[in-house]
Amino acid sequence: MELPANHFKRGIHAGDQQLGLWCSLASHITVEILAGSGYDWLLIDTEHSPNELPMVFSQLQACMENKVQPIVRPPVTDAIWAKRYLDAGVQSFLFPMVETAEQAAAAVAYTRYPPEGVRGFAASSRASRFGRVKDYYSRAQEEICVLVQIESKLGMENLEAICAVPGIDGVFIGPGDLSADIGYLGDQGNEAVVTLIEGLVGRIVKAGNRAGILTGDEGLARRYIAAGNIFTAVGSDAGLLARGSEALARRFRASSIA
């Protein structure tokens, strides 16, 4: 059996726009539905979602029929969490709240076997397809994608140094926490925030790395893509369900009144 190819990692390194969707409902059923919707990647969130490892395991399985790449955001940037998700077969990570080059280098090390890193050895895990990928241990890092999330003033100050860390495949701008940290809590669409993010995207690109972001605002998504963003989450499962169900109810209530 061959090591599964990480088409998302190949895509961002080739400069091909990768469209994604945020999954925070902690459901393998919704993930399976969304996996067939045409996105390049799905973010499986465990930082701000009630999502535990056995549930994530099922959500990874729910992606298998499709080419979509599941990316897991651990609750913290931590070696133990990374090891457990790696053994479950996760190939792409979004590590939250990375603020220094040292933290970025540690995140990379969590995904690498010694001597390059500190990943623990597990025989016959899902990662190696239960021992069926014979060259897994020598080739695993080829298909592992490490993304780090910048969402603070300190992270912005160290942005170029973070971008330069070997093994960092992409730098994701966290607009929620970032806007809060600069005094615009809950106001991600403020022009001051948007302009700042466009500048950060430009800095990431100039530093030779690849920029990512999440926004459910189509206009902002297009602005960030125009600025050079290469992996873009354009909505979320919860947002689609909430706004879509509200819109449907409004249409029928309006027609019944009429």
pLDDT by residue (tens digit) across 111-153? 999 999 999 999 999 999 999 999 999 999 999 999 999 999 9
Helical H runs in 100-236?
101-110, 136-139, 153-157, 159-163, 175-181, 191-206, 218-227
Q: Provide CB contacts within 8 A for 84, sequence distance 6+.
A: 53
pLDDT by residue (tens digit) across 175-196? 999 999 999 999 999 999 999 9
**Active site includes 48?**
yes
At 148 the three-state DSSP class reads strand
Counted residue by residue, the chain has a size of 258
At 178 the three-state DSSP class reads helix
Report how far residue 71's alpha carbon sits from residue 24's, in angstroms, rounded to the nearest whole number: 12
Which class does domain 7-254 fall in? alpha beta
70, burial (CB in 10 Å: exposed 0-12, middle 13-18, buried 19+): buried
**pTM score of the predicted model:** 0.96
Please report the pLDDT score of residue 192 as a whole number.
97
Report how far residue 165's alpha carbon sits from residue 175's, in angstroms, rounded to the nearest whole number: 22
Q: Which position among 7, 13, 28, 48 bears the catalytic label?
A: 48
